[in-house]
Amino acid sequence: MSKITPQRFSVEEFSDQKSWIEKLFSPLNQITGDIVRAFSNGFNVEDNLFQEIKEIKWVSNDSNFPLKFRTKFSVQPRGLIYIYLLNNTLGAYSTVAPHIIWSYQDSTVTISNISGLIADNTYTIRILVIYG
């Protein structure tokens, strides 16, 4: 992959236009710098993508379902993908992909069931919520 090496716009190169071009170059240099920083590993899910990551910790028993959380965006998510599922009680990550039964209404995701859980164990699940 090639490296981006932008040149800054300089008023000195346009001395005959200095009165107005300085007002243009300042914001232009700012935005090109921001773009270079973003493309140099500056993108992240929270600030730059139409997605979000949620982490929930709970004890697995029927009385603790449904699990609910407010979404960052007020649109229907396209899907939920689990990133990891940790059984805190056993201190072990799940080796089986859990199936998450969920619904969405009024900016809230409701998880009614997660497959493969051991009753009365404490779990932490990290979920990628995808929109768009």
pLDDT digits (tens, 9 = 90+) for 89-102: 999 999 889 999 99
pTM of the model: 0.70
Q: What is the pLDDT of residue 91?
A: 97
**H-type alpha helices, 6-128:** 18-39, 45-48
Domain that holds residue 118: 45-130
Ranges of residues in the chain with a pLDDT under 50 are none
Order of strands across the sheet with 67-70?
67-70, 108-114, 100-105
Residue 99 within any structural domain of the chain: yes
pLDDT at 76: 95
Instruction: Answer yes or no: do 59 and 97 share one domain.
Output: yes
- Residues 33 and 36: their CA atoms lie apart, in Å, by 5
Are 16 and 33 within one domain? yes
The confidence score (pLDDT) of residue 48 equals 75
Q: Are 51 and 31 in a shared domain?
A: no
pLDDT, residue 14, reads: 85
Q: 38 and 70 share a domain?
A: no
At residue 26, the pLDDT reads: 87
Domains contained in the chain, number: 2
For residue 103, the model assigns a pLDDT of 97
Instruction: Establish if 36 belongs to a structural domain.
Output: yes
